Structure 1
Amino acid sequence: MNTEENQGNPLAPARLYGWSDVEFAPKGPLPPLPRKRRRASKCFVYILLWLVVQAAISLVVALVVIRVETPRLRLADVAVKSLRHDSFTSPPSLNAILVANVSVKNKNFGAFRFNNGSSISVVYAGHPIGERVPIEAGRVRARHTGKVMNVTIQVKSDWLGADVAAKNLSGDLSSGMVRVSTYASLRGRIRVWGIVRRRTSDMNCTIALNLNSSSVQYVRCT
């Protein structure tokens, strides 16, 4: 009995419900952003771009402008004013007067200023062969190679011991070529954009004297 009643009254079909995002999704394109919001987005992009440009400029300034290099101290235009030598005396003798220009090459964007107290020493075979030559205070402007001063260098074998003169100088005089070295340390300061950096420029130059022509054969600085 129950079976027949169930067959005569079938169950109603179930209702299907769609997803909420499908039922309530807006139709058509999204509305444009408000004008104020678009302006705020553009301002943010411009500010970010400005910060990137400023950072790049600061990096270039730090790497190129503010970076300080040690100026180069050199001897230039060395000439022989007088030269006398004798390899037959005991000990052998050498007396010479050299004139030269002391130059400083400053690659920095700030002037290089130095005070008194520096000097040039003359050495032969590791021993002094003349008096120290003082370097006067001065200034070399930015990105410039300037002549600091004219110097007179005196070479006197009397400063050498008899054993050094007999061992080294005698052979060089006989060969017709004598090499002397000059050393100097120039202490100064460089100011770039209000920042002061202290630097010491060292000089090590070798002067080859040609005894036959009484002239300078070459000058090499390192």
Structure 2
Amino acid sequence: MAEKTNYQQMYPVAPATKQPSSDEELATLHSDELRRKKRIKWAIYIVIFVVFQAIVIAVFSVTVLKVKTPKVRLGTAVTFQNVNTSTQPLASFDISFITQVRVKNINFGPYKYDSATAVFMYDGVMVGEVSIPKGKAGMLSTKKVSVTVNVNSKALQSTSNLGRELSGGVLTLTSHTKLSGKVELMFVMKKKKSAEMNCTMSINVSPNYELRYLKCK
């Protein structure tokens, strides 16, 4: 009996392995399922965030970062100063008026342009010109420049068409200019853009001197 007791003391009997209960198994499975659902939820959030960022970048690129060509036009407010027209013995005109050159910038950044010249023509012949000083049209704004224009018929070789037109009480002129400049975006990116103007204007010379028609493109 003493030997048996010593053997048991030297080599203790291992305790029996505890078997997990069904409640513990369910708790473990539930915890794993929660972690799996959480990972799926975060993955969905990340995908949604990436898609949203891609949409924002795409919209930003086609709106803010897309450089559009500015527009330059003559204003419809015209103030006539010296006006002299005649049909006899030769048809002639000498007219001075004040108008505006409008530079419309439709970009999300300023448009800086160099000085230019706007020419006025009658029947394809230049009858006057005016200088446009260099300037800047701000972001999404219109720069308005007041100019005084003088047009006269001294350069015309033939005045037959002019005589008929003045007899009808109307004088039709065309004008053209081209501005060269750069659009600046985000204070870093600069893009060269040229704004061009072609206008047709009709002036009533009888009985009152006033702008009858103006169309620019």
Q: What is the TM-score when the length of structure 2 is the normalising length?
A: 0.79
Counterpart position of 1:78: 78
Alignment-mate amino acid for residue 186 of structure 1: L
Match in the other structure for 1:221:
216
Cα separation, 1, equivalents of 2:40 and 2:212: 73
One-letter amino acid of the structure 1 residue matched with residue 54 of structure 2: A
Q: Secondary structure at the match of 1:159?
A: coil
Runs of 4+ in 1 over 6 A off after TM superposition: none
Match of 1:124 in 2: 122
User: Which residue in the other structure is 2:173 paired with?
Assistant: 180
- Per-residue CA deviation, residues 3-54 of structure 1 (Å, 9 max, x unaligned), is xxxxxxxxxxxxxxxxxxxxxxxxx9x9346255444433322222211111
What secondary structure, in the 3-state scheme, does the structure 1 residue paired with 2:78 have?
strand
Secondary structure in 2 aligned to 1:105? strand
> Which AA in structure 1 matches 2:29?
P
- Number of residue pairs matched by the alignment: 187
1:141 aligns with 2:138: yes
Code of the aligned partner of 1:100: T
Q: Percent identity?
A: 27
**Counterpart Cα distance in 2 of 1:211 and 1:177:** 6
Residue 158 of structure 2 is aligned to residue 159 of structure 1: no
Tell me the secondary structure at the aligned position of residue 29 of structure 2.
coil
Partner deviation per Cα, 1:161-190 (whole Å, 9 max, x = no partner): 1x2x2x211111111111111111111111
Q: Distance in 2 between matches of 1:33 and 1:51?
A: 29
Letter of the 1:89 counterpart: P
Which amino acid letter does the alignment assign opposite residue 159 of structure 1?
A: A
Please tell me the root mean square deviation across aligned C-alpha atoms, in Å: 2.0
Structure 1: state its 5+ residue gaps: 1-27
Structure 2: distance between partners of 1:79 and 1:177: 17
Q: Which residue of 2 aligns with 1:67?
A: 66
1:196-220 C-alpha deviation (Å, 9 max, x unpaired): 2221111112221111112222222
Give how far 1:125 is off.
0.8
